[in-house]
Structure 1
Amino acid sequence: MASRPMSPVEWGLLIALSLLWGGSFLFNGILVRELPPFTIVTARVALAALALWAIVRLSGHAVPRSREAWFAFFGMGVLNNIIPFSLIVWGQTHIASGLASILNATTPLFAVIVAHVLTEDEKMTGGRLAGVLVGFLGVALMIGPSALGDLGTNVLAQLAVLGGAVSYSIAGIFGRRFRSMGLPPLLPAAGQVTASALLMLPVALLIDRPWALSAPSPEAWAALFGLAFLATALAYVIFFRILATAGATNLMLVTFLIPVSAILLGALVLGEVLAPKHFAGMALIAVGLAAIDGRLLRLVRERRRPLGSDA
């Protein structure tokens, strides 16, 4: 899967996924003012599960009942939700969000390594690794060099965020099994968030004690519904669709696009000003993605080959 360039449809889905997950920063920014983290995470996956199972019922898909399928759902929920959400939330209580974003952008680097070790069809290439490194530099530039000022302090918190990135990359490989099971993207999406909700509920009840919290404002409810239905339910249907056809390494490229989407949405919705570093960072990310895709490099080689042969 990773040996071929992504199709225009797959690139479109990847951009759509980055917009949905980039928008989650706006929703979370509203929610953290009124609700504690584990309550937000639990409500997010629980509401997404309700929405997705309603769609499953309406679409006529049979609910998987095999032990293998539900083992995979819980495994995916742990690797793709519980571990990274918990590690990153904890890490962000000790380090700046900019540094956390840069550390999280290492996900494609880990994905390239994990896929090379654990798969036969997503092996590392020089162009792919170079593209990942250039894309990572673009994210770091766009967020700003000042975010690296705390690098080296709060090492455990930084390792926690890196651990979340590793977990995301392993989840991408783990989720490849849903294709061999013949499950449409809707079912792994619903199963994963259901497993995550069941696992997170006791944590939220024990730590956050949500029954003692003040009632959320209408603005917070709107943000929660956006987070659950758009940035989770719809996003994970797209996530598993890309994973099934383009592979785990290509899917993890969304990590480079999320900061771009978040900054652009901030400019459009909140009126935030775009600085030159944002445009420079986006340009580097574009170069990195082009290198990873490989088509641009092959096109240049094909156009130069006749000239070289004439000489």
Structure 2
Amino acid sequence: MVNILSLFTLAALWGGSFLFVRIAANPLGPAVLIEVRVAFAALTLLVVSFFLKKSLRFMSNIKHFLILGLFNSALPFLLFAYSAQVLNVSTLAVLNSTAPIWGAVIGAIWTRTRLSKDVIFGLILGMIGVSVLVGWEAINIGDEAIIPIITALIGAFSYGVATNYAKNAPSVEPFNNAHGSMWASVLLVLPLVPFMPVREEVTSDIIAAVFALGAVCTGLAYLLYFRLIKELGASSALTVTFIIPVFGILWGYLFLGETVGVNAIIGTILVVIGTMFVTGFASKFMSKKCV
């Protein structure tokens, strides 16, 4: 029961991250927003490391942290922040949930493994779900929605790269992976800040949104995620991916007044079911039902 509650809490936090990105992306610009986000997250994890008495040894694993930081945070965070200037919270959350699908495809290419029928079926469902979103957003927003949708999908693709890299990466404690990759992201994003300056007056609401995004939805959420991996295993912890779009839609509706269109519901259902087939959760669920 505690683990189920933790899964929903994590999904609520990560679903909320798209809400805060949406609020702050236009006034701060993608680079400043993400630099502050990863800095808050890194500082939060630094404080926690003191209490847990964990030594990071950043320089000993700097290459690993830079690669992980690039593909697991800096690049996808920037791409989603860019997309958030145009796309609504629910669309961002659903596009993000394609990450396990990309991970499976990249893994198959990486290991030269043939895709099973379930995985192919899941990929088709996922692509149809994304097409429903893309088509509707293009009609609703216009041609300016196309590039943000593509950049968000590339962000999800980046998470897939990070997942497969992590499987073959140097053996580093999960907490230190989160902590070290955040400091690496700070270094990676920093050079972009002068080229994408703040655009509007920074209000208290924006400061609060960025603090919540960095400290809570990134730093503390990572701690919760790695605790779930330790207690449930990586596969079970991945079920959070299925719940995130629900909270993304809910937070967008409650706090920004975003309409919940039929396209968002259909797209979400198709992407979630497709992801379940790609990751093998659908077959496991069906086998349990048959026992």
TM-score range, shorter chain: 0.7 to 0.9
1:46/1:165 Cα in 2 relative to 1: closer, same or farther (>3 Å)? same
Would the alpha carbon gap of residues 132 and 231 (structure 1) be closer, same or farther in structure 2, given more than 3 Å must change? farther
Structure 1 position 207 matched with structure 2 position 207: no
Aligned partner of 1:192 in structure 2 is 181
Cross-structure match for 2:248 = 262
- Structure 1 residues without counterparts, runs of 5 or longer: 1-7, 303-311
Alignment TM-score, normalising by the size of structure 1: 0.72
From 142, 157, 163, the counterpart of 1:166: 157
The reply to whether residue 114 of structure 1 matches residue 116 of structure 2 is: no
The structure carrying a bigger helix percent of its residues is 2
8 Å Cα contact 2:31/2:189 also seen in 1: yes
Shift of 1:137: 3.9
Q: Distance in 2 between matches of 1:175 and 1:241?
A: 17
CA RMSD of aligned residues (A): 3.9
Alignment of 1:26-175 (within 5 A): 26-65=19-58, 67=60, 69-90=61-82, 96=87, 104-119=96-111, 124-135=115-126, 137-138=128-129, 141=132, 143=133, 145-149=135-139, 160-175=151-166
1:163 shift after superposition: 3.1
Matched residue pairs, number? 284
1:216 is matched by which residue type in structure 2? Answer: V
What is the rounded CA distance, in whole Å, between the counterparts of 2:207 and 2:188 in structure 1? 23
Distance in 1 (alpha carbons) for counterparts of 2:142 and 2:117: 28
The alpha-carbon deviation at position 193 of structure 1 amounts to: 0.8
Following superposition, the deviation at residue 277 of structure 1 comes to 4.8
> Which one of 221, 226, 232 corresponds to residue 235 of structure 1?
221
CA positional deviation for 1:39: 0.7
Judging changes above 3 Å, is the alpha-carbon distance between structure 1 residues 225 and 285 closer, same or farther for their aligned structure 2 residues?
same
Contact 1:104–1:162 (CA under 8 A) maintained in structure 2: yes
By how many angstroms is 1:257 displaced? Answer: 3.9
Does structure 2 retain, via aligned residues, the 8 Å contact 1:188–1:240?
Answer: no
Cα deviation, 1:265-290, whole Å, max 9, x if unaligned, reads: 23344555545555545544554455
Q: For residues 243 and 119 of structure 1, what CA distance do their matches in structure 2 show?
A: 23
Tell which structure's C-alpha radius of gyration is larger: 1
* 1:4 counterpart residue number: none
After superposition, the Cα gap between the structure-2 partners of 1:58 and 1:284, relative to the gap in structure 1 and judged at 3 Å, is: same
Q: 1:295 aligns with which of 259, 281, 284?
A: 284
The AA in structure 1 aligned to 2:156 is: A
Q: Is the 8 A contact 1:139 1:256 kept in 2?
A: no
User: CA 1:30/1:164 → structure 2, altered by over 3 Å: closer, same or farther?
Assistant: closer
Q: 1:289 to 1:301 in 2, by over 3 A?
A: farther
Shift of the 12–113 alpha-carbon distance from structure 1 to 2, 3 Å rule, reads farther
Question: What letter is aligned with 1:208?
Answer: M
Q: Whole-Å Cα distance in 1 between the matches of residues 143 and 266 of structure 2?
A: 26
CA distance in 2 between counterparts of 1:282 and 1:166 reads 18
Q: Deviations over 1:237-272 (max 9, x none)?
A: 34445667325x984x75554332211123344555
Question: Residue 264 and residue 138 in structure 1: after superposition, are their counterparts in 2 closer, same or farther (change >3 A)?
Answer: farther
